[in-house]
């Protein structure tokens, strides 16, 4: 959306929002890009001074702003705030980044049938939420549809009126765009949800042909054609022409309902997405992936030889009770009659054991020991699976060796203690040594003591 600098007469602050740029101007007032204290960006429209002095306009505007608050839907710009009692009433909606449908078609040309049907399906869902809230937009046109990265969005509910309200036809308050107005709006009759269906049909025809279905000319000429002439759909693709023709019927009762239109557009988008013209817009278009679902990916379900291989593997799993390895989707299955490749020393030499298991980074299974009868000895793991373990005979041999070594060590310790002497070993005390005679005589004080 093109932005312009603020002019001298433009306000800098409206309510709690600070204004930064001009987004555009219309019949009701000027739209600004603003932000609140939290940095949330909004599209804020300030009503024209002459309309602000009209009490009838103020009362109707207040009713419709109240109704717009009830709209819940992903395809509409949510109403953030409004001040109906200000000198110049204003309202702020969620800012939607991205070009309008009018600018996109004007720059890149007509869209493909799949893209038009996808946009129409999303917009019809948005209108369904609008109509459920009891509101009619009344001014649906290419410039009021923004192609955001999250999908198309309907904006500018400033002139939307409740169901059954009459149009503003007096001087200075005529609303709507010639070429996209419904015949009942031109006649001054009551608007209904079918009024928006007519405008949506004209908008989708513009997306297909880059022109209004009622041509170009002055406002009087365009309004006359809307009421008395049939829409020109020569450039509309055959897949969409019958449906858009029913939307542009003069009688509102002959137009499809919002729900029916949404379902039929979804069917067309799904069918046309598989055709050569169903490609998405180029990168940077601003439409984003929200409505580019017309391009669908091919099914990943296997066909042909791969499907037969999968069926054979499922049969083997059902009969043998074992799971067979599933081939990688990017690798072709091996032929059934292919002989297994023998593994020899020449083929296994020099290979990294971590990369021989099929995929990079997986370890190759180690060689499993075999028992006496040549069978592998499974061992139960903590995770519940079975893996090969050591041989039981080798385990017994290790236990025997451990016991023998333990006994030998115990005997060695006992023998070392016995070499210290038989008496100590047998528990017999030795007699105390006798002192040799020293020339003294026995006395009352003991052996070897001299007389005093």
| 372-406: pLDDT as tens digits | 444 454 445 444 445 445 578 888 888 999 999 99
- Burial class (CB within 10 angstroms; exposed 0-12, middle 13-18, buried 19+) of 374: exposed
The answer as to whether 225 is a domain residue is: yes
Q: Indicate the average pLDDT of the chain.
A: 74
The answer as to whether 209 is a domain residue is: yes
In whole angstroms, how far apart are CA 357 and each of 309, 348, 353, 360, 364? 22, 12, 8, 8, 4
Question: What's the pLDDT at 266?
Answer: 94
Helix (H) or strand (E) holding 386: strand 386-388
Domain count, the chain: 1
Place of tokens 């949506």: 200
Q: With the C-alpha atoms ordered 307, 310, 316, 319, is the resulting torsion angle positive or negative?
A: negative
The answer as to whether 338 is a domain residue is: no
The answer as to whether 319 is a domain residue is: no
Residue 109 to residue 210: CA distance in whole angstroms: 6
Residue 120 to residue 115: CA distance in whole angstroms: 8
- Contact between 236 and 117 under an 8 Å Cβ cutoff? The reply is no
pLDDT > 60? residue 449: no
Give me the percent of the chain exceeding a pLDDT of 70.
Answer: 61
- CB neighbourhood size of 263 (10 A): 13
Q: pLDDT tens digits, residue range 99-124? A: 999 999 999 999 999 999 999 999 99
In whole angstroms, how far apart are CA 287 and each of 41, 80, 107, 112, 149? 20, 23, 14, 13, 5
139 tagged catalytic: yes
Residue of 124, 401, 87, 80 lying closest to 259 (CA atoms): 124
Out of 139, 238, 251, 300, the active site residue is 139
Angle (CA) 76-189-91 rounded to 5° is 35
Stronger pLDDT, 67 or 124, i.e. the higher one = 124
The answer as to whether 238 is a domain residue is: yes
The answer as to whether 404 is a domain residue is: no
The answer as to whether 443 is a domain residue is: no
**Mean of pLDDT values over 403-420:** 84
Question: What's the pLDDT at 132?
Answer: 87
Q: pLDDT tens digits, residue range 302-345? A: 445 555 664 666 566 554 444 444 444 444 454 444 444 544 44
* DSSP assignment string, 15-71: TTEEEEEEEEE-SSEEEEEEE-TT--EEEEEEE-HHHHT-HHHHHHHHHHHHHHTT-
The answer as to whether 164 is a domain residue is: yes
Which structural domain range is residue 117 located in? Answer: 13-272
**Mean of pLDDT values over 266-284:** 66
Residue 106: give its domain's CATH number.
1.10.510.10
Stronger pLDDT, 400 or 444, i.e. the higher one = 400
Which backbone phi and psi does 354 adopt, to 5 degrees? -80, -20
């Amino acid at each position: 959306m093109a932005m312009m600098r603020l002019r001298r007469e433009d306000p800098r602050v409206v309510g709690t929002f600070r204004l930064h740029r001009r987004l555009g101007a219309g019949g009701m007032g000027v739209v600004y890009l603003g932000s609140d204290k939290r940095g949330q960006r909004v599209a804020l429209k300030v009503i024209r001074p002459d309309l602000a002095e009209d009490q009838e306009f103020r009362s109707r505007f207040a009713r419709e702003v109240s109704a717009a608050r009830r709209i819940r839907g992903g395809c509409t710009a949510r109403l953030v705030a409004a001040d109906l009692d200000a000198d110049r009433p204003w309202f702020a909606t969620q800012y939607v980044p991205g070009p309008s449908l009018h600018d996109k078609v004007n720059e890149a040309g007509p869209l493909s049938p799949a893209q038009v049907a996808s946009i129409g399906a999303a917009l019809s869902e948005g209108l369904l939420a609008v109509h459920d809230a009891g509101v009619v937009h009344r001014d649906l046109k290419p410039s009021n549809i923004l192609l955001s990265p999250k999908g198309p969005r309907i904006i500018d509910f400033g002139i939307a009126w409740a169901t059954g309200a009459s149009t503003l036809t007096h001087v200075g308050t005529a609303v709507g765009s010639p070429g996209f107005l419904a015949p009942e709006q031109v006649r001054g009759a009551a608007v209904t949800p079918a009024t928006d269906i007519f405008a949506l049909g004209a908008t989708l025809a513009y997306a297909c042909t880059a022109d209004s279905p009622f041509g170009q000319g002055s406002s009087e000429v365009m309004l006359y054609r809307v009421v008395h002439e049939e829409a020109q759909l020569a450039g509309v693709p055959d897949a969409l022409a019958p449906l858009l023709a029913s939307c542009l019927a003069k009688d509102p009762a002959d137009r499809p309902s919002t729900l029916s239109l949404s379902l039929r557009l979804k069917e067309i988008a799904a069918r046309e997405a598989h055709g050569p013209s169903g490609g998405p817009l180029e990168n940077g278009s601003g439409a984003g992936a929200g409505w580019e679902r017309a391009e669908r990916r091919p099914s990943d379900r296997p066909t042909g030889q791969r499907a037969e291989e999968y069926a054979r593997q499922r049969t083997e799993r059902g009969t043998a009770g074992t799971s067979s390895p599933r081939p990688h989707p990017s690798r072709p299955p091996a032929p059934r009659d292919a002989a297994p490749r023998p593994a020899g020393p020449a083929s296994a030499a020099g290979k990294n054991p971590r990369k021989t298991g099929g995929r990079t980074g997986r370890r190759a299974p180690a060689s499993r020991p075999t028992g006496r009868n040549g069978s592998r000895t499974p061992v139960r793991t903590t995770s519940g699976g079975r893996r090969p373990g050591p041989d039981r005979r080798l385990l017994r041999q290790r236990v025997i060796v451990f016991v023998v070594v333990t006994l030998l060590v115990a005997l060695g310790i006992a023998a070392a203690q016995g070499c210290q002497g038989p008496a100590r070993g047998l528990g017999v005390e030795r007699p105390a040594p006798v002192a040799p005679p020293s020339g003294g005589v026995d006395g009352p004080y003991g052996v070897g003591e001299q007389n005093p």
